[in-house]
Amino acid sequence: MISKENIVTAAIIRKDDKILIAQRNNDSYLEPNKWEFPGGKVEDDETYEDCLIREIQEELDIRITIDSLFLKTHHTYEKNGRQISITLFAYLSDLKEGKISHIDCQDSRWIEIDEISYYEFAEADIPIVKKLMDVHR
């Protein structure tokens, strides 16, 4: 069975030459405990940027400003005989204010880009990781 495509956003949040990554909860439906760039599903009545600002505030209790689109990518997960197709829009963004709370993740870290290979990322986020590493070289 193929489900409808989901549009999701992700933030590459920068602060002091570091980026923020978040660890999925251990009970996540897809890829528990993997690392990702935080974000979430776009609702019918919002822009991608509005979605990202809302999701980051809901999941981490911080506020961001959005710079620009970094990468658009597609990925299809397979779970219990079902295909879950997503289009992911990753945006460069900056921390505006707030102290991180782990509301909808189990951990987060500020890392330098050259440390990114030490973390096991969710499949949909791997193209973002690769592009960040290429750009950083």
Residue 1: what pLDDT? 41
Give CATH superfamily name and number for 6-136.
Answer: Nucleoside Triphosphate Pyrophosphohydrolase (3.90.79.10)
Q: Does the pLDDT value for residue 122 go beyond 70?
A: yes
Tens-place pLDDT, residues 73-95: 999 999 889 899 999 999 999 99
The pair of structure tokens assigned to 80 is 């219990």
Residues in Cβ contact with 84 at an 8 Å cutoff, skipping those fewer than 6 apart: 3, 6, 30, 76, 77, 78
- Look at 18-22, 44-48, 126-130 and tell me which has the smallest mean pLDDT: 44-48
pTM listed for this prediction: 0.94
Domain range list for the chain: 6-136
| Average pLDDT of the residues in 11-33 | 96
- The burial of 8, by beta-carbon neighbours within 10 Å (0-12 exposed, 13-18 middle, 19 or more buried), is given as buried
Q: Is 59 helix (H, G, I), strand (E, B) or coil?
A: helix
